């Protein structure tokens, strides 16, 4: 059975509409809607490890799937292939749907290299195509083409592969088969693909965030964390693993021009991916904290009087400029990194507005608190007056104080019971301020204020 899970998979799935886990009814199957060149081989290997061999359907294209009898379809529990959206709806609608998307420019480039280098094509696909005269003729044609020639080719298969292929994967046949020119942007197609992606797929992964995608996959189906290394040790050595293709800007521009719908869908998928990751993280952490605090023999884990931390010690933080590796190396070289960290002297520049910090804290009922935010640096002193704060989506007022002996500003905000939902354990602090360039030279960073120590203190 499965090495990754000790119970039948899938047993539980997170419903992002309801914001909670749902128990799967019966022995439901899983459909991996595999768009070519979107992390499919590795992810399929992971999926197959969750099922017994006889539960895995070997059909990978619509024609093979359509040849199966109804009883054969019902026997399988994992379907993974380059199926059309229409075929999925007709034959596999009762399964749980999952998929991956990829940056459309890199996807097209990768597909081209997969076609022109015979060693990169898996044996199963070599066998599948050997008696297909149309594909053999296509491969013979493509393998003497440059990437630019491939992008500009008027061959019907090449045009379908190189233009908005990911959008096509989320549209019904009444649109997909009738459209003659996939290079033209169509907002109706984009909106429908976005809707189908959001409403139909229980899990959406992003190739560029593959390991983070596995984390989301694990949490979505209540699995233990999955380590990717065992599934990548035997990957095809002809592939450029972990490297970006060095392609002329002109060719990248040509690909981008033919994939404007895919770009819109990809951007939407990334937004949806991080929204889901954030949503499920909150639920999982809050649930774990409630479970922990309900155990009488374990001391209350979340402080109720004082909490002190810097950005790196928060449960989650984003919208901050990363602490440089060079800075860490220098501090560690002189054996002062741990000391600086312990003394809360590390700080992070707010890069995007808002910069967000999430932290665990027990705000007790009928008590008042101060949130004290140390501003270690400003682009200039006027920036401090542009700062505003929100806690749990409610604006909170603050005062600005100059701490002369530390040469730093402090933002001081009072938090009372009517300011927030005191039942929450995971809180979201947003710091907004007017953005300014670090300097006027090319490549200047967008920075506002640099946040050092943060304290939550009961009054």
Are 186 and 167 in contact, with CB atoms under 8 Å apart? no
Are 216 and 277 in contact, with CB atoms under 8 Å apart? yes
Is pLDDT at 235 greater than 80 in this prediction? no
Is pLDDT at 311 greater than 90 in this prediction? no
How much is the pLDDT for 457? 93
pLDDT mean over 131-154: 88
CA–CA dist 172, 200 (Å, integer):
13
Q: What CATH number is attached to the domain comprising 410?
A: 2.60.120.260
Q: Tell whether 184 and 93 lie within a shared domain.
A: yes
Q: Tell whether 261 and 354 lie within a shared domain.
A: no
CA–CA dist 261, 239 (Å, integer):
27
Beta-strand relationship, 398-403 and 408-415? antiparallel
Helix (H, G, I), strand (E, B) or coil at 21: strand
217 within domain boundaries: yes
Q: Tell whether 315 and 192 lie within a shared domain.
A: no
Q: How far is CA 181 from the centre of its chain?
A: 31
Q: How confident is the model at residue 1 (pLDDT cuts 50, 70, 90)?
A: very low
pLDDT mean over 79-91: 92
Residues 6+ apart with CB under 8 A from 267: none
Q: What is the pLDDT of residues 210-219, one digit of tens each?
A: 999 999 999 9
136, two tokens: 């053999």
Model-level pTM?
0.64
The tokens 């065992």 sit on which residue? Answer: 230
Q: What is the CA radius of gyration of the chain?
A: 26
Q: What is the pLDDT of residues 99-122, one digit of tens each?
A: 999 999 999 999 998 888 877 776
Q: Tell whether 310 and 209 lie within a shared domain.
A: no
Residues 6+ apart with CB under 8 A from 190: 167, 261, 264, 265
Range with the lowest mean pLDDT among 34-43, 121-130, 249-258, 273-282?
121-130
115 within domain boundaries: yes
Q: Tell whether 312 and 263 lie within a shared domain.
A: no
Q: Tell whether 274 and 315 lie within a shared domain.
A: no
| Boundary of a domain, candidates 254, 283, 312 | 283
Among candidate residues 4, 2, 14, the one with its CA nearest the CA of residue 204:
14
Q: What is the pLDDT of residues 14-73, one digit of tens each?
A: 999 888 888 888 788 999 999 999 887 889 888 988 888 889 998 888 888 888 888 888
Q: Tell whether 263 and 325 lie within a shared domain.
A: no
CA–CA dist 168, 83 (Å, integer):
11
Helix (H, G, I), strand (E, B) or coil at 184: coil
Tell whether omega for the bond before 430 is within 30 degrees of 0, i.e. cis.
no
Q: What CATH number is attached to the domain comprising 211?
A: 3.40.50.300
Q: Tell whether 278 and 315 lie within a shared domain.
A: no
182 within domain boundaries: yes
Q: Which of 119-123, 289-293, 425-429 has the highest mean pLDDT?
A: 425-429
Q: Tell whether 245 and 326 lie within a shared domain.
A: no
How much is the pLDDT for 341? 56
Residue 244: which domain range?
12-283
> Phi and psi dihedrals of 204, rounded to 5?
-130, 120
Q: What is the pLDDT of residues 328-347, one digit of tens each?
A: 545 555 555 565 555 556 78
Is pLDDT at 164 greater than 50 in this prediction? yes
Of 59 and 261, the one with more pLDDT: 261
How much is the pLDDT for 301? 55
The tally of domains found in the chain comes to: 2
The tokens 């931390």 sit on which residue? Answer: 309
Q: Tell whether 218 and 260 lie within a shared domain.
A: yes
Q: Tell whether 253 and 348 lie within a shared domain.
A: no
Q: Crossing angle for the helix pair 260-293 and 249-258, nearest 10 degrees?
A: 80
CA–CA dist 332, 312 (Å, integer):
16
| Boundary of a domain, candidates 232, 249, 283 | 283
291 within domain boundaries: no
289 within domain boundaries: no
Beta-strand relationship, 369-378 and 388-391? unpaired
Q: Tell whether 196 and 47 lie within a shared domain.
A: yes
How much is the pLDDT for 54? 87
* Burial bucket for residue 53 (CB in 10 Å: 0-12, 13-18, 19+): exposed
Q: What is the pLDDT of residues 442-458, one digit of tens each?
A: 777 778 888 988 999 99
Is pLDDT at 2 greater than 60 in this prediction? no
290 within domain boundaries: no
């Amino acid at each position: 059975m499965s090495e990754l899970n000790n119970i039948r998979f899938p047993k539980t799935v997170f419903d992002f509409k309801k914001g909670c886990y749902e128990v799967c009814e019966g022995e439901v199957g899983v459909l991996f809607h595999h768009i070519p060149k979107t992390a499919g081989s590795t992810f399929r290997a992971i999926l197959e490890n969750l099922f017994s061999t006889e539960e895995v359907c070997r059909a990978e294209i619509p024609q093979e799937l359509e040849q199966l009898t109804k009883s054969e379809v019902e026997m399988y529990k994992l379907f993974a292939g380059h199926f059309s959206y229409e075929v999925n709806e007709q034959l596999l609608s009762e399964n749980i749907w999952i998929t991956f998307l990829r940056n459309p420019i890199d996807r097209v480039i990768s597909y081209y290299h997969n076609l022109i280098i015979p060693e990169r094509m898996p044996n199963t696909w070599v066998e599948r195509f050997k008696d297909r005269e149309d594909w053999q003729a296509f491969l013979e044609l493509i393998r003497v083409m440059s990437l630019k020639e491939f992008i500009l080719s008027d061959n019907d298969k090449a045009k379908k592969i190189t233009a908005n292929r990911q959008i096509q994967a989320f549209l019904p046949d009444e649109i997909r088969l009738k459209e003659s020119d996939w290079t033209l942007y169509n907002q109706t197609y984009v909106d429908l693909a976005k809707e189908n992606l959001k409403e139909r797929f229980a899990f959406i992964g992003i190739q560029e965030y593959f390991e983070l995608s596995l984390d989301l996959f694990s949490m979505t189906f209540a699995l233990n964390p999955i380590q990717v290394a065992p599934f990548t040790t035997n990957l095809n050595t002809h592939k450029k693993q972990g490297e970006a293709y060095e392609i002329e800007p002109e060719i990248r521009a040509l690909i981008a021009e033919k994939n404007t719908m895919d770009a819109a869908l990809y951007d939407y998928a990334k937004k949806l991916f991080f929204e889901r990751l954030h949503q499920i993280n909150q639920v999982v952490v809050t649930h774990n904290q409630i479970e922990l605090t309900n155990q009488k023999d374990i001391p209350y884990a979340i402080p109720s009087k004082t909490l002190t931390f810097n950005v790196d010690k928060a449960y989650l933080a984003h919208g901050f400029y990363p602490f440089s590796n060079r800075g860490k190396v220098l501090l560690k070289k002189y054996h002062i990194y741990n000391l600086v960290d312990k003394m809360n002297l590390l700080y992070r520049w707010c890069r995007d507005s808002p910069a967000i910090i999430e932290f665990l804290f027990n705000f007790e009922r009928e008590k008042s608190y101060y949130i004290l935010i140390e501003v270690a640096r400003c682009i200039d002193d006027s920036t401090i007056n542009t700062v505003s704060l929100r806690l749990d989506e409610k604006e909170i007022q603050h005062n600005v104080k100059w701490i002369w002996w530390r040469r730093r500003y402090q933002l001081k905000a009072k938090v009372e019971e009517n300011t927030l939902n005191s039942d929450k354990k995971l809180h979201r602090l947003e710091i907004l301020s007017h953005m300014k360039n670090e300097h006027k030279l090319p490549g200047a960073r967008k920075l506002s204020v640099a946040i050092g120590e943060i304290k939550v203190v009961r009054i």
